[in-house]
Amino acid sequence: MTTAEFIRSGWSWGGATLPIAAAALLAYLVLYRGTRRWPWFAAALGVVVLTLTSPLNALADGYLFSAHMVQHILLLLVAPALLLLALPRTVSLALRPRWLGRPWVGWIAGVGTMWLWHAPSLCNAAVTSRPIHALQTCSLLLLGTMFWRQTLAPREAERLSPPVAVAYLGGACLACSVLGIVLTFSPVTVCSIYAAPVVDRLGLGSLVDSRWGLSPQRDQQIGGLLMWVPMCLIYLGAILAQVARWFAEAPRPSGVEI
Amino acid sequence: MSQSPAKPGELAPHRIPVEALALGLASGSAATAPGHDAPLLAGLWSPVRREHWTMKWLSTVDHKQIGMLYLVTALGFFVIGGVEALLIRLQLAGPNLHLLQPDTYNVVFTMHGTTMIFLVAMPALFGLANYVVPLQIGARDMAFPRLNAFSFWLVPFGGLLLHFSFLTGGAPAVGWFAYAPLSETPYTSSSSVDYWALALLVLGIGSVGTSINLIATVLTQRAPNLTLRRLPLFTWMMFVDSFLVIFAIPVLNAALVMLLIDRQLNTHFFLPPGGGTPLLWQHIFWAFGHPEVYIVALPAFGILSEIIPVFARKPIFGYEFVAGSTVAIAFLSLLVWAHHMFTVGLGHAVDLFFVAASMLIAVPTGVKVLAWSATLVGGRIRFDVPMLFCLAALVQFLLAGLTGVSLASAALDWQTKNSYFLVAHFHFVFVGLIVFAILGAVHYWFPKMSGRMLCERLGKWTFWLMTLGFNLTFIIQHFLGLAGMPRRVFTYADLPGWGWMNMVSTVGAFLMGVASLLFVWNLGRSLLRGRVAGDNPWRAWTLEWACPSPPPPENFTSLPPIHSRRPLWDDAHPDQPDPVVGTHGALDTYVPERNQTAIIAFIFSESAFFGVLILTYLYYNATPPAGPSAHDLNVLKTGLFSLGLIASSFTLWLAEKNLTRGRLGSMRFWLAATVALGAVFLFGQASEYATLFQSGVGVSSNLFATTFFTLTGFHGLHVAVGLIALMVMLGLALAGDFKSAHPPALKAVGYYWHFVDVVWIVVFSAVYVLPRLR
Amino acid sequence: MPATSPALTYFGAVLKVFDPHSPQARAIFHLGIETSVVLAMIFALVAGLILYALMRFRWREGEPEPRQLAGNRTIELIWTAIPCVIVAGLFALTARTMTVSDPPPAPAPDLIVTGHQWWWEARYPKTGVVAANEIHIPVGRALSVRLESNDVLHEFWVPQLARKIATVPGHPNHIWIEADHPGTYLGICSEFCGTEHAWMHFLIVAQTPADYAAWESAQLRTARLPQTALALQGHALFLQMSCASCHAVNGTAAHAQVGPDLTHFASRRQLGAGIVANTPANLRRWLADPQQVKPGVKMPNFKFTDEQLAQFVAYLGTLR
């Protein structure tokens, strides 16, 4: 098939995604009725729905490692951030037990989940096994939210102060860069399932390989590069937002000499 | 001048004595006469009292004197590097000249590049930082004055080591980035490259030391009301720059260490016959090399951000954006290195990502250029010499930045890289921006350092000759590159136009030489006979201008009130002060403990070093090599010894806990246990090595052995150093020290020791565990 | 050489990067023009702003301090957003140019170029032609070239025809080489590779298909025994001395590939990778002491006698 045909036909509307998204939207509108932040929620849902139903999903399902990487980035970094921004500013996200709310826990959640899902056995399992794939999707969303909670929690008091947030985000950028470097330059295939899809369910084999010129090596390279440069740019954007927030803090009214 | 300088010993009525300045540092600084009796020369020469002035300068730990030592050293090496540049231009003045033999020419351009970057630019900029940063933050000295002195003396020593190679068979002739395989033994058998690598290692250690010192200083030595968001931009940029240094230099160190191991121990990190690849050298070197150019550019940006507002008589346009863009540049500079490798064949996918990142870095850089330009709009611009240099630097950097964007485009780089177009671009950055900024900075801060003004007339002559000479030299080189002239060639064919263009460039270079001579003459003359400067000759607004020129040893006896970024402006214009900024953030008043700050910064830098070694190990062992492999290692035995190491972290934690509880006996016990467990671990490593040696596996057996021994060897070295530190602690504890409950020293050593353990966990997983999972 | 348009020159020098003679070089050239225009406009704008400010806002005697404007957020956001757009545009243009000027290689190369310290080896695997420093190509047909190195890093750059590309030992690279018109194009090594990096030139000689075919068949002929006595003596000397330990001459017992293949040495225009023209006088100087002509070259000084020199020159002159 051609690229255009694929883009038209590669959508997967069945499955649990749409019902769950609809339920989430309902829950949000009920819980936070009247909030002006609903466009953020719509965006978050849009990202999740598109990630899981668009042709991107079809590609990530055993064909292209780089497509799977795009999904990861959207589910771990983009959707959770949008979700947190959608919460009204008064919502408290204090966690029980308390240590779950510590910065290092959030950091390890966000960084660790990316590393974990690229362990070869887990990476392959997420493609071949439906339950593990669902687990992967949920864990990315959940742990991504835990990661972003440190810097995007609705309440100012529950957030890291900007300089600490810069170190938090910078460290995450470095950690993911290392994984990106490993994937880009690795002489061996990390996620072997993508090197030779077992069943060419959608007949995309020739499209991907010959028309788009994406051999398994190049595919893994692009996947690694996506985790490296664009992902770091997302972190950098967040860092700059923190710097802006830091400098924008309004001065206290005079009388308090600091 | 609107504020009257306070007489020595008196406080001007509106000034507040600052108690927090009594930080009890800086032992052994220059002889302290009360106030200053010989006001003009006090900062430079004290009347001969107990020590001769040479000994005073050799043993000083005062940041001001160390700063000046850096600048003088840089000047000396600038002369050497400049002569090398003139030799290059003489040889290239016409086609087919034979002034220099090819090998001599190759030595000259290698030494020119290495000298100018590592012995001129970095020392000069860090020297300026050394002098200015403590003054700008109202501090008495740097956080670690003795570390400061040590870091300085590594510069002349490193320079000596580098130049010693001239006497031992020849200086290096491999280019300042020493690409493998040319820099490897089969192609360069003399010890030149070894001296080069060792010298750079020495210099790098000094740079990391200075940067850790700067980070600790800015975080812990600020005057009480000088919050982080009120930092002058030069200090802010040096602060951010220091993070780049402590990350990038260890990456270079890893590369140098691997090259030395290749050359001395017959291994093949970068040689294809043994399984290595020359591309790995390029990746690691440029992962250092690109941040390096920002390491030298950021201070220049800081200088421009100080001088341009003062001489335009208004604040910098968009302080927050200039400060924020610095953070963006620092992060992005770590993401762009492969744009030095566009022609090496990494593949379009890789190339394109680096095109994107490299072009993106132009955005925050552009924000700065526009900020400086906008600062001029609406000002009352004075064309004093510091401003002239900075204005030229601004326009020249504008051009450099734009040619940089063209080089960021891989397709264009495919034509212009390694040609004189590239040479022109980076000289527009290094000379057009950085040298001009340094010249501006010297003219700006010289009055503060010496108490005298530089001669304005000589300064203007220097400026015009330098600007004319510089542009004559390098603008035409853009066209030489487009005409097809490659870089690093000792001569060229008599193609039409090439001779003329090169001649113009050579003439320009000699004009720069004359300007440099004028500058040195100005320095000497003004030191002796310059006009007296006073505290604030430029009517500037940051704290370094709130003390006498030159400052007394303790810098400040009192400070003006600090509520904004320009305390002296507020002082002089109480009717229209700057808006109050940076008040109620938690971190604005938080002062971390300086030893912990330093050790955390050091840990960060060592992580970069180990990161490179670990990635190299993983890369070369991704497919099991022929010969010895990880399966020849004894997982169980080493695992056991590793448990010992991990246990030692636990015992050290117990020791710290006991110390805070005042139980010194238990603390000594647990400390001794830590030392013992650490020694056991090292013993285990030694026995693993012994087993391997006995079965004939040496460092040069194959790439597995090479990477294994290098990685675990350096880790073992770090353990050994940690053990020495722990034993010192134990010795002090046994001698009855540690009376107070929270000694920072033990905590700092503790952090280091835990770090070493964490590194081992990663190394053990990668080397011993991972292969068995496959 | 015939050209479609006059080349851009500066100070009399041809700006070869702006003088493309192939589709690949032309793609890069167009990008270069587009980029230069954009960048020049930015320079003019900003430098103009600076110059304007310097003239309009000079300090004049007696004037008070100016209005202390600290910034303007709107302006900041605008001049951050606009460069992002420009960068995005340049990125897109770059991506397109990269694809056009550097397509993926053919499955099998037409030409294998190997960099040596300090000469270029060229082999045509499909025909068996072996050349050194002078590479002939037919006009209008793109050749897929594989590039390797025998020792250190080198870089293959012929600006009028193609991008530059490094030769990395252990890591073969590929470019396409093509010329629109017949002509001789100078190429150089642009990665510092040691003592004589400056004299590692090569020539790309683009010929009409007919001329190229003639050249190719001439190159495939083995060397015939020379006719004159002097040349015959040179031939004997060649095999007797250690010449054969480095150089190959097809049709003789000399097969070594350490130095350049000399089978058709006399057909080349240059000697020593471009350091001098290939004339009998220069050849004699070279053989008398290669180190005098090209210091550091790997060929030692054999201290031949005058008589031997004459014999060699005569013999090598027959290797057409």
| B246 chain-A contacts, CB cut-off 8 A | none
Q: Indicate the helix (H) or strand (E) that contains C156.
A: strand C154-157
pLDDT at B292 over 90: yes
Model pLDDT, residue A250: 58
Model pLDDT, residue B741: 56
Residue A228 touches partner B, C-beta closer than 8 Å: yes
- Beta-carbon contacts of B749 under 8 Å, excluding residues fewer than 6 positions away, are B599, B722, B725, B726, B729
pLDDT cut 70: percent of chain C above it? 98
Q: Indicate the helix (H) or strand (E) that contains B709.
A: helix B703-734
Number of continuous H segments (helices) and E segments (strands) in chain B? 25, 0
Which residues between 230 and 249 in chain A have a beta carbon less than 8 angstroms from any beta carbon of chain B? 232-233, 236, 239-240, 243-244, 246-249
B763 touches B755 (CB < 8 A): no
Q: Which of B124-128, B407-411, C66-70, C118-122 shows the lowest per-residue confidence on average (mean pLDDT)?
A: C66-70
Model pLDDT, residue B740: 65
pLDDT cut 90: percent of chain C above it? 91
Give the chains touching C; criterion: ≥3 Cβ pairs < 8 Å: B
User: Nearest CA of chain B to the CA of C288: how many Å?
Assistant: 20
Judged by CB atoms closer than 8 Å, whether chains meet at B378 and C31 is answered as no
Per the prediction, chain A carries an average pLDDT of: 88
Query: What's B211-268 look like in SS3?
Result: HHHHHHHHHHCCCCCCCHHHCCHHHHHHHHHHHHHHHHHHHHHHHHHHHHHHHHHCCC
Residue A75 touches partner B, C-beta closer than 8 Å: no
- Beta-carbon contacts of A22 under 8 Å, excluding residues fewer than 6 positions away, are none
Judged by CB atoms closer than 8 Å, whether chains meet at B344 and C170 is answered as no
pLDDT at C15 over 60: yes
Model pLDDT, residue A90: 87
Judged by CB atoms closer than 8 Å, whether chains meet at C57 and B379 is answered as yes
Please list the residues that pair with C147 across neighbouring strands.
C113, C173
Tokens of B668: 């000594």
Q: Taking the CB of residue A130, how many other CB atoms lie within 10 A of it?
A: 10
Higher-pLDDT residue of B388 and B742 is: B388
Judged by CB atoms closer than 8 Å, whether chains meet at A252 and B356 is answered as no
Higher-pLDDT residue of C220 and A100 is: C220
Judged by CB atoms closer than 8 Å, whether chains meet at B380 and C57 is answered as yes
Please, what sign has the CA dihedral across residues A166, A172, A178, A181?
Answer: negative
Model pLDDT, residue B34: 40
Residue A49 touches partner B, C-beta closer than 8 Å: no
Judged by CB atoms closer than 8 Å, whether chains meet at A163 and B228 is answered as yes
Judged by CB atoms closer than 8 Å, whether chains meet at B350 and A247 is answered as no
Model pLDDT, residue B50: 56
Per the prediction, chain C carries an average pLDDT of: 94
**What is the rounded average pLDDT of the residues B131-159?**
97
Q: Indicate the helix (H) or strand (E) that contains B204.
A: helix B192-220
pLDDT at A256 over 60: no
CA B259/CA B194 separation, integer angstroms: 9
CA B167/CA C93 separation, integer angstroms: 52
C247 touches C260 (CB < 8 A): yes
Q: Binning pLDDT at 50, 70 and 90, where does residue B7 land?
A: very low
What burial class does residue B516 get, using C-beta atoms within 10 Å of its C-beta: 0-12 exposed, 13-18 middle, 19+ buried? Answer: buried
- Residue B13 φ then ψ, to 5°: -55, -35
CA A165/CA A246 separation, integer angstroms: 10
Q: Binning pLDDT at 50, 70 and 90, where does residue B2 land?
A: very low
Model pLDDT, residue B649: 96
Model pLDDT, residue B8: 47
Give the chains touching A; criterion: ≥3 Cβ pairs < 8 Å: B
Model pLDDT, residue B35: 41
pLDDT at B18 over 70: no
Q: Indicate the helix (H) or strand (E) that contains B72.
A: helix B63-91
**What is the rounded average pLDDT of the residues B703-731?**
96
B143 touches B228 (CB < 8 A): no
| C32 chain-B contacts, CB cut-off 8 A | 406, 412, 415
| B581 chain-A contacts, CB cut-off 8 A | 247, 251
pLDDT at B691 over 70: yes
Q: How many residue contacts between B and C have a Cβ separation below 8 Å? A: 278
pLDDT at B22 over 60: no
Model pLDDT, residue B588: 74
Residue in this structure with the two tokens 């960084």, named with its chain if needed: A111
pLDDT at B6 over 60: no
B207 touches B246 (CB < 8 A): no
What is the pTM (predicted TM-score) of this model? 0.93
Q: Which of B718-722, C3-7, C29-33, C66-70 shows the lowest per-residue confidence on average (mean pLDDT)?
A: C3-7
Closest chain A residue by Cα to residue B230: A247
Lay out the sheet containing C129-132: strands in order across.
C129-132, C119-124, C111-116, C143-149, C173-177
- In the three-class reduction of DSSP (H, G, I as helix; E, B as strand; rest coil), residue C62 is classed as coil
Residue B323 touches partner A, C-beta closer than 8 Å: yes
Per the prediction, chain B carries an average pLDDT of: 92
Q: Which of B44-58, B495-509, C50-64 shows the lowest per-residue confidence on average (mean pLDDT)?
A: B44-58
Q: Taking the CB of residue A231, how many other CB atoms lie within 10 A of it?
A: 23
| B584 chain-A contacts, CB cut-off 8 A | 249, 252, 258
B748 touches B598 (CB < 8 A): yes
Q: Binning pLDDT at 50, 70 and 90, where does residue B584 land?
A: low
Nearest to A236 among B320, B328, B587 (CB): B328
Residue A221 touches partner B, C-beta closer than 8 Å: yes
Q: Binning pLDDT at 50, 70 and 90, where does residue B563 land?
A: very high
The angle subtended at Cα A7 by Cα A5 and Cα A9, nearest 5°, is: 65
Nearest to B409 among C66, C90, C195 (CB): C90
pLDDT cut 90: percent of chain A above it? 56
Model pLDDT, residue A13: 82
CA C153/CA C263 separation, integer angstroms: 27
- Beta-carbon contacts of B238 under 8 Å, excluding residues fewer than 6 positions away, are B129, B133, B214, B218, B298, B299, B302
- In the three-class reduction of DSSP (H, G, I as helix; E, B as strand; rest coil), residue B176 is classed as coil
Q: What is the ipTM of this complex?
A: 0.96
Judged by CB atoms closer than 8 Å, whether chains meet at B406 and C83 is answered as no
| B181 chain-C contacts, CB cut-off 8 A | 151-153, 169
Judged by CB atoms closer than 8 Å, whether chains meet at A246 and B350 is answered as no
Judged by CB atoms closer than 8 Å, whether chains meet at B480 and C13 is answered as yes
Tell me how far the alpha carbon of residue B569 is from its chain's centroid: 32
Residue B589 touches partner A, C-beta closer than 8 Å: yes
Judged by CB atoms closer than 8 Å, whether chains meet at B580 and A252 is answered as yes
Please list the residues that pair with C189 across neighbouring strands.
C156
**What is the rounded average pLDDT of the residues B743-755?**
92
CA B470/CA B609 separation, integer angstroms: 38
- In the three-class reduction of DSSP (H, G, I as helix; E, B as strand; rest coil), residue C112 is classed as strand
Model pLDDT, residue C9: 83
Model pLDDT, residue B194: 97
Q: Binning pLDDT at 50, 70 and 90, where does residue B438 land?
A: very high
Higher-pLDDT residue of B199 and A88 is: B199
Is the peptide bond between C64 and the residue preceding it cis, with omega within 30 degrees of 0?
no
Residue in this structure with the two tokens 């505290």, named with its chain if needed: B535
Phi-psi region of A92 (alpha: psi -120 to 50; beta: other; left: phi over 0): beta
pLDDT at B509 over 80: yes
Judged by CB atoms closer than 8 Å, whether chains meet at B324 and A166 is answered as no
- Beta-carbon contacts of C84 under 8 Å, excluding residues fewer than 6 positions away, are B360, B363
pLDDT at A144 over 80: yes
Tokens of B411: 């397709």
What burial class does residue A257 get, using C-beta atoms within 10 Å of its C-beta: 0-12 exposed, 13-18 middle, 19+ buried? Answer: exposed
Judged by CB atoms closer than 8 Å, whether chains meet at C164 and B415 is answered as yes
pLDDT cut 90: percent of chain B above it? 86
Beta C270-271 vs C9-10: how paired, if at all? unpaired
Q: What share of chain C is helix, strand, coil (3-state, %, to 5)?
A: 40, 20, 40
First to last CA, chain A: 68
Nearest CA to B452 out of B551, B529, B352, B348 is that of: B529
Tokens of B146: 């003795």
Q: Taking the CB of residue B23, how many other CB atoms lie within 10 A of it?
A: 14
DSSP string, B554-599: TS-S-B---SSS-HHHHHH-TTSPPPP-S-S-HHHH----HHHHHH
Residue B604 touches partner A, C-beta closer than 8 Å: no
Cα-trace Rg, chain A? 20
| B318 chain-A contacts, CB cut-off 8 A | none
CA B278/CA A124 separation, integer angstroms: 33
- Residue B40 φ then ψ, to 5°: -80, -35
The angle subtended at Cα A152 by Cα A147 and Cα A157, nearest 5°, is: 110
| B106 chain-C contacts, CB cut-off 8 A | 192, 194-195, 197
CA B105/CA B111 separation, integer angstroms: 10
pLDDT digits (tens, 9 = 90+) for A172-216: 999 999 999 999 999 889 888 888 766 676 777 677 777 777 888
pLDDT at B46 over 80: no
B277 touches B270 (CB < 8 A): yes
Judged by CB atoms closer than 8 Å, whether chains meet at B588 and A186 is answered as no
Model pLDDT, residue A2: 78
User: Amino acid identity of A80?
Assistant: P
Model pLDDT, residue B27: 33
Nearest to B279 among C91, C159, C168 (CB): C168
Residue B356 touches partner A, C-beta closer than 8 Å: yes
Judged by CB atoms closer than 8 Å, whether chains meet at A161 and B585 is answered as yes
